[in-house]
Amino acid sequence: NAGVTQTPKFRILKIGQSMTLQCTQDMNHNYMYWYRQDPGMGLKLIYYSVGAGITDKGEVPNGYNVSRSTTEDFPLRLELAAPSQTSVYFCASSYPRASGRPSTDTQYFGPGTRLTVL
């Protein structure tokens, strides 16, 4: 298994440009997530999905959009890029186990995309 893969690894955008960050997982995980990590900071959740066709906002969704048409893919779209979106973006996935107890599901992270907006 390749696990969680992300493309591209690096990208420089000009202000106002758009792009899509790709994320694919081959572990048949239902849950997928997009985080951003600013320098010296923890991860902040942008969007997440509990299955194909179902997405929801996280803590910092403004300026981003997502879609989930298949179990494997969860692309993140940036419209009208701004310098504040300069960050490292991580995609993650997890498989929910039995309900009725505290969730201890492991999130598996992709290698990240380093985005700079100038």
Partner 1 sequence: QKEVEQNSGPLSVPEGAIASLNCTYSDRGSQSFFWYRQYSGKSPELIMFIYSNGDKEDGRFTAQLNKASQYVSLLIRDSQPSDSATYLCAVNQGAQKLVFGQGTRLTINP
Interface residues with partner 1 (CB under 8 A) are 31, 33, 35, 40-45, 48, 50, 56, 58-59, 90, 94, 96, 102-107, 109-112
Task: Round to whole Å and give the CA distance between 11 and 24.
Answer: 18
Q: Which is nearer to partner 1, 14 or 39 (CB)?
A: 39
- 87 vs 94 by CB, closer to partner 1: 94
Cα-Cα end-to-end distance for the chain: 36
Q: Quick one: 32 or 81, whose CB is closer to partner 1? A: 32
Q: How far apart, in whole angstroms, are the C-alpha atoms of residue 59 and residue 51?
A: 19
Rank residues 67 and 109 by Cβ distance to partner 1 and give the closer one: 109
Q: Are 22 and 110 in contact (CB under 8 A)?
A: no
* Minimal distance, residue 35 CB to partner 1, in Å: 8
Neighbours of 102 (CB within 10 A): 4
Task: Give yes or no for a contact between 7 and 111, defined as CB atoms under 8 angstroms apart.
Answer: no
Least distance (Å) between residue 29 CB and partner 1: 11
Least separation in angstroms between CB 103 and partner 1 = 5
